[in-house]
Amino acid sequence: MDKSIVINVSLGETRIAILESKTLVELYYELPEQERMVGDIYYGKVAKVLKGLQASFVDIGHKQDAFLHFSDTDERFLGNDFHLKKGDIFAKSVQPGRSDGVPLNRGDKVLVQITKEPISQKGARVTTNISLAGRYLVLVPNDNVVGVSRKILNRREKFRLKKIGRTIRPDKFGLVIRTVAEGKDEESLKADLDSLMKKWEQMLKKMYSINPPALVYKEVGMLSSVIRDLFTSDIQKLIVDNKKMFKEIAKYMKEVSPQLVDRVILHQKKTPVFDEFAIEAQINRSLSRKVWLKSGGYLFIDHTEALTAIDVNSGRFTGRSNHDANSLKMNLEAAREIARQLRLRDIGGIIIVDFIDMVDPKNKQKLYEEFKNELRRDRAQANITPVSEFGIIEMTRERVRPALLFSISEPCPACVGTGRIISKTTITARIERWIKRYRSEGGDRSVQLVVHPELAKFITTGYRSLIRRFSWSYWMRFKIISDENISMDEFRFLDKMGGDDLTDKYIS
* Angle of CA points 21, 23, 24, to nearest 5°: 130
- The CATH number for 92's domain is 2.40.50.140
The mean pLDDT value of the chain amounts to 85
Smallest CA-to-CA distance from 66 within 4, 144, 119 is with 119
Judge whether 391 lies within some domain.
yes
Judge whether 182 lies within some domain.
yes
**Do 358 and 467 reside in the same domain of the chain?**
no
Of the pLDDT bands very low, low, confident and very high (cuts 50, 70, 90), residue 51 is: confident
Judge whether 418 lies within some domain.
no
**Do 64 and 211 reside in the same domain of the chain?**
yes
pLDDT tens for 239-248 read: 999 898 899 8
**Do 394 and 442 reside in the same domain of the chain?**
no
Q: Are 38 and 116 in contact (CB under 8 A)?
A: yes
Between the CA of residue 392 and those of 222, 349, 389, what are the distances in Å? 34, 16, 7
For residues 36 and 6, the model is more confident at 6
Stated length of the chain:
508
Of the pLDDT bands very low, low, confident and very high (cuts 50, 70, 90), residue 87 is: very low
Summarize the confidence of residues 474-482 as an average pLDDT.
Answer: 92
Q: Which of 188, 217, 246 is the last residue of a domain?
A: 217
| pLDDT of 252 strictly over 90 | no
**Do 89 and 185 reside in the same domain of the chain?**
yes
Of the pLDDT bands very low, low, confident and very high (cuts 50, 70, 90), residue 34 is: low
Q: How many CA atoms lie within 13 A of 48 on its CB side?
A: 11
pLDDT at 91: 42
What is the rounded distance in angstroms from the CA atom of residue 264 to the CA atom of residue 237?
A: 6
Domain count across the chain:
4
Global pTM exceeds 0.85: no
**Do 106 and 127 reside in the same domain of the chain?**
yes
Smallest CA-to-CA distance from 438 within 489, 501, 483 is with 501
Summarize the confidence of residues 307-330 as an average pLDDT.
Answer: 82
**Taking phi first (over 0 means left), then psi (-120 to 50 degrees means alpha), and beta for anything else, what does residue 447 get?**
beta
- The CATH number for 249's domain is 3.30.420.60
**Do 375 and 472 reside in the same domain of the chain?**
no
Judge whether 416 lies within some domain.
no
Q: Which of 280, 301, 330 is the last residue of a domain?
A: 280
Residue 342 makes CB contacts below 8 A (sequence gap 6+) with 351, 375, 378, 380, 382, 397
Judge whether 303 lies within some domain.
yes
Q: What is the DSSP string of 260-295?
A: GGGGEEE--SSS-HHHHTTHHHHHHHHSSSEEE-TT
What is the rounded distance in angstroms from the CA atom of residue 170 to the CA atom of residue 148?
A: 17
Tell me the residue range of the domain where 97 lies.
41-217
- What is the number of other CB atoms lying within 10 angstroms of the CB of residue 373? 12
| pLDDT of 157 strictly over 80 | yes
pLDDT at 80: 43
Burial class (CB in 10 A: 0-12, 13-18, 19+), 398: middle
For residues 224 and 272, the model is more confident at 272
pLDDT tens for 91-105 read: 444 444 455 667 888
- The CATH number for 481's domain is 3.40.1260.20
Between the CA of residue 253 and those of 17, 181, 249, 419, what are the distances in Å? 19, 14, 6, 45
pLDDT at 281: 83
**Do 57 and 167 reside in the same domain of the chain?**
yes
pLDDT tens for 335-393 read: 999 999 998 888 888 999 999 988 889 999 999 999 999 998 888 889 999 999 888 99
- What is the number of other CB atoms lying within 10 angstroms of the CB of residue 504? 8
Of the pLDDT bands very low, low, confident and very high (cuts 50, 70, 90), residue 505 is: confident
Q: What kind and span of H or E run contains 157?
A: helix 155-168
**Do 227 and 212 reside in the same domain of the chain?**
no
Q: What kind and span of H or E run contains 188?
A: helix 186-208
What is the rounded distance in angstroms from the CA atom of residue 230 to the CA atom of residue 135?
A: 10
Q: Which of 217, 233, 260 is the last residue of a domain?
A: 217
pLDDT tens for 387-423 read: 998 889 999 998 766 677 766 667 777 776 667 778 8
Judge whether 419 lies within some domain.
no
Smallest CA-to-CA distance from 226 within 82, 14, 443 is with 14
What is the rounded distance in angstroms from the CA atom of residue 425 to the CA atom of residue 466?
A: 10
**Do 61 and 172 reside in the same domain of the chain?**
yes
**Do 165 and 66 reside in the same domain of the chain?**
yes
Of the pLDDT bands very low, low, confident and very high (cuts 50, 70, 90), residue 76 is: low
**Do 66 and 193 reside in the same domain of the chain?**
yes
Smallest CA-to-CA distance from 273 within 302, 308, 246 is with 246
**Do 295 and 380 reside in the same domain of the chain?**
yes
Of the pLDDT bands very low, low, confident and very high (cuts 50, 70, 90), residue 209 is: confident
pLDDT at 168: 93
